[in-house]
Structure 1
Amino acid sequence: MSNLSILQLPLDILVNIMTNLSFADLRNVMLTCKALRDLILANNSIWRLISRDCRERLILHNSSDNSQTLTLSWYNRCRISHNWCRGIYRSKVVIYHQINYMPWLKFHESQVLFLSVGSNLQCYPNDKKGLPNCKTTLWKLQVPTVKRFDVRTDDISRFVVKNNIIVCGNRDGCVAVYRMENPRRKPYLLHHLIDCHENGQVEVSAVEIVNSTHKPCIVTACDSIATLRFWSITPDINGTNGVTNSRSVCTNEINLGDNIGVRCVALNSTESKLSIGPNGNSKPLLLDINTSKLVLTFESTKNIKQAVRDVRWHNENIITFVTHSGMLQMLDTRTGNLVYEAIDPFQSTLYCVKSDGVNSILVGSSEYSRCVLFDARNPAHHVQMYFTQKKSSPIYSLDFDSTKLIAAADRSIAVLNFNINPYTVETRDYSHAFEFVNR
């Protein structure tokens, strides 16, 4: 009997033994011999079962709008997610500028970084490690602007990228529509939509694209008026030299009532429902695109702290959103009920939100350049906090995939890389729950 070895056991029995061990025990087994180490690292079923059976273990996935998934083994997914939850990462400020902006960003398909800085839209490539290389730009363009004789700037407020269309909403009350053949190549202007609301006297605070694969329809909204407008863009293309002329027609206008204004909008993946984040309301509205009728309506509140700051689709039926009062909530559109509710650890205003479509939700706070990670299965408290930069700025926009977090503050962009050796950096663990004391 003394000559028998555990390695002589059938593979399915070995795998069954490993799945009953803790993460620390597995690490110790991996240190015993190369054969067991290779077995544990190479066998995805071990780590898949561990992540499925342990509800306390949060595995971060690439978000649903990232079509290119990273080729990571389940061991590496568990390892990197462990770093997310424990606050083990390497941070770097990759862009810095002297002027205060409210930048918006998108890490498009985990391949290129789109970033708005003032009235400029910029695109950055990845380096060999898959991190944004912001020392060089793939392309840069300035959106067309209209001079307004008031206090407004001509900055891009928000932009959206879908298929081969980029739409930039501008604070001068206009919208620039671009078509791109390749994200790494400079797009060309498809149409400049002038004076979207109130003859251009108000800014465009939210934009969305409907039917981007054919003739695009652009949705525009403003945070000071309760009106949605749908614009049909008809390009006139002359040969291969791009667009020589294009026309825009307002095909539909929907009044939401109560003078609430709209801060954000988001379309679901089937392009059938539009979630609307209003001012002065505790929950988002829901519009049926096909019938142009509100499916979910809520009584407006008079408390401006209830403004919905950002709204995204968690999956086809659930909307996740953040409010001025620091609440993170998830709404089931089938019943109209809240299915998740959490609050920022510092009770600060939340500016932006993004989920991976499974369990992970990240929000950007209004202070200390702070992002917070939540688990949709556990509303009791947050999973981890990340102070992305050494400044008191809000996080105006963020994006992430399974290995990295990109956060935009007023004067800088920071990248947090979690795909690292945990023994090479200092752990920054802020996962403990905070106790609120009213004085």
Structure 2
Amino acid sequence: MFSLLGLPEEILLLIFSYLDSQALGRLSQVCRKLCHFAGKDTVWRRIARRCVNSGFTQQGTDTVSGISVKERVKVSQNWRKGRCRRETLLKWKCNLMPWIQLDGERLYISQAKDIRAYQLRSDNNGLHRQPVAIFSAHQDDVCRFVLTNSHIISGGGDGKIGLHKVHSSGSLQFSAHDQDVNCIDCQGGVIVSGSRDRTAKVWSLSLGRLGQCLHTIQTDDRVWSIAISPLLSSFVTGTACCRHVSPLRIWNLESGQLMTCLGTDFHRGAGVLDVFYETPFTLLSCGYDTYIRYWDLRTSTRKCVMEWEEPHDSALYCMQSDGNYMIASGSSYYGVVRLWDKRVKNCLHFYSLPSPTSSPVYSIRFNTKCLYAALASALHVLDFTSTDLQIRS
């Protein structure tokens, strides 16, 4: 008589990979051996790639380690249904415009002139109250900062760029712009920065040329956001849209020459506050015109391929993508965070985070378990792994 358990392991795993989550759940209740096979990562990979925020990119690359794919699929259902536990992690007295970054088990947040690193708690996805490190290099507030493997690179209101060693106390700074450094990015040994002084600049991060300006680009408009292409061949700037030029322009990283403009129908004042590449050929932008736009450089630079509108006509200050289907955005009023699925037009869920005044969401970052949002006077977390969940529809 034919026995399913008599099949080779690789054949069993191939068969199981075509089952849905309900069938796998029932199969795992048959016996211990089938339960063992039904829980393997290879079986759940196909299901996970269709889920929101499961740690898989559009290309199928798994970006998460240490958490089983099956567990990530379970938590993904909480993201899709809007089930989470809310908590305020940090509060401060003065209103700020904080920026945050996540790096493994640490969360970095700008607090006025400093950048503070906090260790994430493994038991409840909160923070240890005392920072494990404080990085200082500016005389004015930090506007934006990015992380590399070894450094934190920050731009400040003093017009300077700061370089901080992540694993030591060493920091240095150099004058970069005549006004605030509103945005900054770093990849492949190159820094790009944008400023209120209507310039974008390219800097060397290599030894012997550290802090040397390679190109100065006159954008004729205030630069609010900037991002380097993963191919390291170009970078995009998002400007205030106060001139008769597109607020989204792509520049050659090596020569500093303009390559192309994105879009043709932006309204005056529709500045781009956040922009980033998802892949070498696709990028997302958002800003004052209340839209998230998805651009595919392989199809057209004149019109985005998809767009999602903030339903309450609020400017969008920040956003992040899971690299696949989910986008999270932060609005300019009432601390509103929205979750979006690229496959549908309307947002999945929204959360209004508490604040003494109507605060924008200045920065958001998430992993497969939690979303962290920085408002003017507090840092909040939405924990989607908790068993004591609230449903927000």
TM-score range, shorter chain: 0.7 to 0.9
Matched, 1:294 2:294: no
Aligned residue number for residue 75 of structure 2 = 80
> In the superposition, relative to structure 1, how do residues 340 and 5 fare at CA in structure 2: closer, same or farther (>3 Å)?
same
Alignment of 1:407-426 (within 5 A): 407-421=373-387, 424-426=388-390
Tell me how large the CA RMSD over aligned residues is.
3.3
Equivalent position of 2:346 in the other structure: 381
1:355 aligns with 2:321: yes
Aligned equivalents of 1:247 and 1:269: distance in 2? 21
Shift, 1:13, TM fit: 7.0
Stretches of structure 2 that go unaligned for 5 or more consecutive residues are none
Shift of 1:393: 1.7
Distance 1:218-1:34 versus aligned 2 partners, 3 A rule: same
- Tell me, yes or no, if the aligned pair for 1:340 and 1:379 is still in contact at 8 Å: no
Kindly state the Cα deviation for residue 324 of structure 1 after the two structures are TM-superposed: 0.8
Aligned runs of 1:227-238 on 2, under 5 Å? 227-232=199-204
**Following superposition of structure 1 onto structure 2, how do residues 54-69 of structure 1 map, counting pairs within 5 Å?**
57-61=51-55, 69=64
Return the offset for 1:29.
Answer: 6.1
175, 182, 193: which one pairs with 2:174? 193
Match of 1:275 among 231, 236, 239: 236
1:222 to 195, 199, 204: 195
Distance 1:251 1:299 in 2: 28
Match of 2:85 in 1: 90
Q: CA deviation at 1:17?
A: 7.4
How far did 1:369 drift? 1.8
Amino acid at match of 2:40: N
Q: C-alpha displacement at 1:292, in angstroms? A: 1.6
Instruction: Give the counterpart of 2:95 among 100, 104, 116.
Output: 100
Q: CA offset at residue 354 of structure 1? A: 1.2
Aligned partner (choices 39, 45, 48) of residue 48 of structure 1: 45
Q: Is the 8 A contact 2:337 2:352 kept in 1?
A: yes
Report Cα offsets for 1:7-50 as digits up to 9, x if no partner: 768575797479455x45655666x5564882475233442233
Give the whole-Å Cα distance in 2 for the aligned partners of 1:233 and 1:29: 54
Match of 2:391 in 1: 427
1:243 alignment partner in structure 2: none
Question: Letter of the aligned partner of 1:333 in structure 2?
Answer: L
Q: 1:226 to 1:301 in 2, by over 3 A?
A: farther
Structure 1 pair 18–263 and aligned structure 2 pair: CA distance change class (3 A): closer
Aligned match for 2:214, one of 251, 254, 265: 251
Verify the 8 A CA contact 1:326 1:347 in the aligned structure 2.
Answer: yes
In the other structure, the counterpart of 2:278 is 314
Partners of 1:347 and 1:19 in 2: how far apart? 43
For the Cα contact (< 8 Å) 1:388–1:416, is it kept in 2? no
Equivalent residues of 1:226, 1:262 under 8 A apart: yes
Whether the aligned pair in 2 keeps the contact of 1:263 and 1:277 (CA below 8 Å) is: yes
Partner of 1:151: none
- Could you tell me whether the CA contact under 8 Å between 1:60 and 1:81 is conserved in 2? yes
Deviation larger for 342-351 or 394-403: 342-351
Which residue of structure 2 aligns with residue 203 of structure 1?
Answer: 180
* Unaligned 5+ runs, structure 1: 146-153, 237-245, 431-439
1:390-409, aligned counterparts within 5 Å? 392-409=358-375
1:2-41 alignment runs, 5 A limit: 16=15, 19-21=18-20, 23=21, 27=25, 35=32, 38-39=35-36, 41=38
Q: C-alpha separation between the residues in 1 aligned to 2:255 and 2:207?
A: 26
Report if the CA contact (8 A) 1:406-1:413 is conserved.
yes
Contact kept in structure 2, 1:266 and 1:274, CA below 8 Å:
yes
TM-score by length of structure 2 reads 0.85
Counterpart AA for 2:365: D
User: Distance in 2 between the 1:168 and 1:8 partners?
Assistant: 57
Please state how far the C-alpha of 1:111 moved relative to its aligned partner.
Answer: 2.2
Structure-2 separation of matches of 1:393 and 1:41: 46
Larger Rg: 1
